[in-house]
Amino acid sequence: MTNEFRTLEAHSAEYFGDTRDYWWNQDFIDLIGRRFAFEKVHDVLDVGCGVGHWAQVLASALPAEAQVIGVDRDQSWVDKATERAAAWGISHRFRYQLSEAQVLPFRDASFDLVTCQTLLIHVADPGAVIAEMMRVARPGGLVLASEPNNVASSLILNSIGFKGPVEEILAGVRLQLLCERGKTALGEGNNSVGDLLPGLFVASGLTDVAVYLNDKTNALLPPYDTSEQRAMLEEIEDLESRDFWIWNRADSFRYFLAGGGIESEFDALWTSVMGSSERFVKAVADRTYSHSGASLNYLVAGKKMRERGI
């Protein structure tokens, strides 16, 4: 199984599998490193680190001596990230500890680079977290966040859905948008916060704010024979076998109602988004299924203003 964590109760467990290793193109990471002068970075804080994917991706563009601290609110992920670092022989550079993103246990101006990936989609007040990230960044240091617009994925169509009924396509959009709005209303985060992120950076006082789009897609194309595509297929099949969409059914229903959805329409919408599993399995078996794998994933950077005279 490509996701050993999928059945854990810890947050985001469904999304820490092998597919996460394929979220970025290496040459894009190298380019980002050059654009933001990673060669000058000596210490990094990865906020909401999970099992450590994001900072370990960035590490390839960082100086070999750069030190990385990852923090997460969940002890399970701190333990798993520590285990992974030890297994890969990078414990001398990477260490992990328990912390809430809103109250980081570090002094002001402690890091050259403070970063996160898909953290702000899970917090009630992303502006407060950005302010805290900026607090622990050094003057002239970089705050870097990778966050998506997830609702856009409801209109990224695959070979099965492209010619589907308009009503069926729009049902998926409706369900996802209402669920995302409900999740936000409940104080559990905004799954499309990436759209708001540049403005939040400016409002926080960060300067030289720059916005880029991740150029990586996760295309699924016959004959599905790469390690990436095999991991993707296994993940899709596993989620569908457990009636899991973006969230499980219970959470989806809870978010749907909080977002203004009508209880009586939920079952039909759920069936609409989950009902293509048999067609998907058949199309994969016939080697006719394809998907561009596109997503809308922002990489937003801003600098902490230097003190006057420095």
What are the sequence ranges of the domains in the chain? 11-149+192-217+295-310, 151-188+220-290
Residue 6: the pLDDT is 81
**The domain defined by 11-149+192-217+295-310 carries CATH number 3.40.50.970:** no
pLDDT by residue (tens digit) across 12-56?
Answer: 888 888 899 899 999 999 999 999 999 999 999 999 999 999 999
- C-alpha 274/C-alpha 161 separation (Å) is 12
- C-alpha 180/C-alpha 195 separation (Å) is 13
- C-alpha 179/C-alpha 103 separation (Å) is 28
With a threshold of 0.75, does the pTM exceed it?
Answer: yes
Among residues 228, 289, 249, 307, the alpha carbon closest in space to that of 21 is found at 228
pLDDT by residue (tens digit) across 70-119?
Answer: 999 999 999 999 999 999 999 999 999 999 999 999 999 999 999 999 99
Residue 9: the pLDDT is 77
Ranges 2-6, 10-14, 156-160, 208-212, most confident: 208-212
Q: Which of 8-22, 63-77, 124-138, 176-190 has the lowest mean pLDDT?
A: 8-22
- CA dist list (Å): 90 to 59, 76, 84, 129, 271: 10, 19, 9, 28, 45
Residue 308: the pLDDT is 63
| Residue 1 pLDDT greater than 70, yes or no | no
| 112 contact partners, CB below 8 Å, separation of at least 6 | 40, 41, 42, 43, 44, 137, 138, 141, 142
The rounded mean pLDDT for the chain is 94
